[in-house]
Structures are given as structure tokens and as C-alpha cells.
Amino acid sequence: MLTSARSDLLARARQRSPHRSDEMIEYLVDARLRTSLKAFEVLTPPNPDYRELVRRVRVPTLLVIGERGVVSLDAAKELQRLNPLVCSELIANVGHGLPYDEPSRLGGVVLSFLRRLATFRNETAQAD
């Protein structure tokens, strides 16, 4: 895929995501063409145990997943079981391209999360 011609990638991207603007499709295709295969070396074994990494997180963390995305709802629930600081939000009718396809919905979820954090912080400060 990284060695495909730009015109082929554009055609496939337009077919796969007809709702995306031409500008966004061109941006994503050009980014793909600039990506070095070495960028994927981080995905080759041995990989650290993600469970241990998640347990070590010490800050509130928001995981936003698309209903048709790569991360399943079960995987999100597992991360929440591993660490109570992880919360997840599922956005319906969208896949892995959530920031490109539904930026307003994603922004709303992030804003809600940040407001909850601010409320919690204020309540904690008042209790001290």
C-alpha cells in the first residue's frame, strides 16, 4: 500500500470514504506516501505487555472508539478494568477515521471529558 501510485490510492480512498472531502482524502493519501516503512517497526515483536503499561497510567485517560473501528468495545472495557483512570466513549456509525469523519462528535466527547475533569478537580480542591 505504501508503494502504490498516488492516483490509485486516491481512487481507493474516495471509494472507501465517499463522505470525506477531496482535500481531506488528498491530505491523508499524501501523508501515507510520505510514511516510511520503518515507522511500523515499533509494531514488531517483542512488544511490551500492554496490560502492564495500562496499569501504570497515573492520569485520567479518555479512549474514544468508533463503532466500526479497530478497537472493540470489549477491548475498551478490558482497559477500564485494568485501570480505573481509563474511561471510554463509543461513537456510533463511525470507524477508525473518527477525527476525520466526525470531528464535531469527537470534539463533543473530549469537551465533556475535560469538563468532568475540571469539576472533579474543583471538588477535590474544595475538600482540601
Residue-wise pLDDT for 47-59, tens only, equals 889 999 999 999 9
pTM: 0.74
Residue-wise pLDDT for 65-124, tens only, equals 999 999 999 999 999 999 999 999 999 999 999 999 999 999 999 999 999 999 888 777
Residue-wise pLDDT for 18-44, tens only, equals 989 999 999 999 999 999 888 888 888
Q: Pull the grid cell for residue 18.
A: 465517499
Pick 40 or 62 by higher pLDDT.
62
CA distance 10 to 28: 9
Domains along the chain with CATH numbers: 1-46 (no CATH), 48-128 (3.40.50.1820)
Cα separations in angstroms, 57 against 28, 33, 63, 80:
31, 33, 13, 11
> Radius of gyration over alpha carbons of the chain, in Å?
18
